[in-house]
Amino acid sequence: MNAAVSIRIALRALGANKLRSALTMLGVIIGVSAVISLMSIGTGLREQVSAQIRGLGTNLLFITPGAQQTGGVRAAAGTRPTLTLDDSEALFTTGFSYVVDVAPQQDSGAQLVAGGQNWRSRVSGVTPSFPYVRNFQVALGEFINDQHMQNRSRVMVLGAGVAQELFGDSDPVGETIRANQQNFRVIGVLESKGASAFRNQDDVVFMPLTTMQTRFNRFRGRGGATNVSSIAVQLTDEDAVDGAVQEIAALLRERHDVAQDDFTILSQKDILETVGQVTAGITLFLGAVAGISLLVGGIGIMNIMLVSVTERTREIGIRKALGAKRSDILMQFLVEATVVSLLGGGVGVAIGIGGSRLLSGVQLPTPGGGQALQTVVPPDAIILAFVVSAAIGLFFGIYPALRAARLNPIEALRYE
């Protein structure tokens, strides 16, 4: 008996017990739809976070200070004031062929007051190279320039979120903001970059780094040098990352006169790889949890197939009496179990895709505010769902099929 005949018989047998067949498929449907929905969430999360990291800039290295140690107790990384503005200038002027630009940054915070509105925000002192290195675009006005740096001008560039909180829909360029008992003139507003998994990139205010260091807050390090919170280094291409990390580290050790690094260098490539590993693990875990329902569905298929074998004992005896081989009976019940599983898998795939689309756009809580969830249904998840469905049908259908194939035809004919 060929496969086509076996499939027709299987469909006829399933059609004779529609409700029972539907309930049998239910476990597989739930399992497959859950696997696809959860994998789409995990894949979407990975792509979202990766896009946010790429949005920080292109081919970047992030250099941060080391950890402060007091009384033998080591504090968190970045607490030791070891990086200076001179370090960032040295990285740009040393002559490394792979360095495109450098963007030092000093972070602080302040209560901003404009008119009758006030808002607590992060304040960053930066240089004119910052928007090019870190991929920020100006929507209104202008960004900080060299003249602002030289004059230590009291000017600010607002993130889109801060501009909205303080000035609403009006144009803030030219307006005055008071911070740290000083007045600052708004010269520009940045395009919105939205909230990320790390922070709200629109809830920030930029001022000249020289202004931050002399008029806003004073950050002094070794020998009166001006400290910075971090240095972003833009490289020519991704292939230069490994060599750049080693050479930049050697330069900073020499400048700081230390044998052990008092700084940390992290590449954008490393961050993306770490995020990929973490989110892949989350996706795998979610898929494994949902896969438990597939196991339950397979047990349901085995149970129903055993019932079917018992109910059709006389039919099996008649088929054997008419010349059907054990392999024919085995194939018949295996195909029937596989068809049940595949039909359930197909319905589960449709429900899973529909469920993932419904979940897309759901607001998630993030440190910087609500962020819409984006789901992505990977094609390999659909293929995997069908393969697993077929495998479940075959695996859990083997025992009932063997039991049917081993029935003695004479005893089967006597069965009532």
Strand partners, 120: 111
Residues with Cβ within 8 Å of residue 223, at least 6 apart in sequence: none
**Cβ atoms of residues 203 and 370 within 8 Å:** no
**Cβ atoms of residues 231 and 105 within 8 Å:** yes
**Cβ atoms of residues 348 and 32 within 8 Å:** yes
Strands (E) in 44-98, as ranges, are 60-65, 67-70, 73-77
What is the Cα–Cα distance from 115 to 134, expressed in whole angstroms? 31
Question: Would you give per-residue pLDDT tens digits along the chain (416 residues)?
Answer: 566 766 777 777 777 777 777 887 888 888 888 888 888 888 887 877 777 777 676 788 889 887 655 444 444 454 566 788 888 888 888 778 888 889 999 988 889 998 888 899 899 999 999 998 888 889 999 999 999 999 999 999 999 999 999 998 899 999 999 988 889 999 999 998 876 555 678 889 999 998 888 877 655 555 555 788 899 988 888 888 888 888 888 888 888 888 788 888 888 887 777 777 887 787 778 777 777 777 878 888 888 778 777 777 777 777 777 777 777 777 777 888 888 888 888 888 898 888 888 887 776 655 445 567 778 888 887 888 778 888 887 787 787 777 777 776 666 666 55
| b/e code 147-174 from CB counts within 10 Å (16+ = b) | ebbeebbbbbbbbbbbbbbbbeeeebbe
Residues with Cβ within 8 Å of residue 157, at least 6 apart in sequence: 138, 141, 143, 144, 186, 187, 188, 189, 190, 205, 206, 207
> Quick check: helix, strand or coil at residue 167?
helix
| b/e code 365-400 from CB counts within 10 Å (16+ = b) | eeebeebeebbbbbeebbebbbebbbebbbebbbeb
> In terms of C-beta density within 10 A (0-12 exposed, 13-18 middle, 19 or more buried), how is residue 136 classed?
buried
Residues with Cβ within 8 Å of residue 70, at least 6 apart in sequence: none
CA distances from residue 177 to 98, 117, 154, 211, 326 in whole angstroms, order as listed: 39, 10, 10, 15, 88
Strands (E) in 115-165, as ranges, are 117-126, 138-141, 155-158
Q: What is the DSSP letter of 222?
A: G
CA distances from residue 86 to 3, 92, 98, 207 in whole angstroms, order as listed: 77, 10, 19, 19
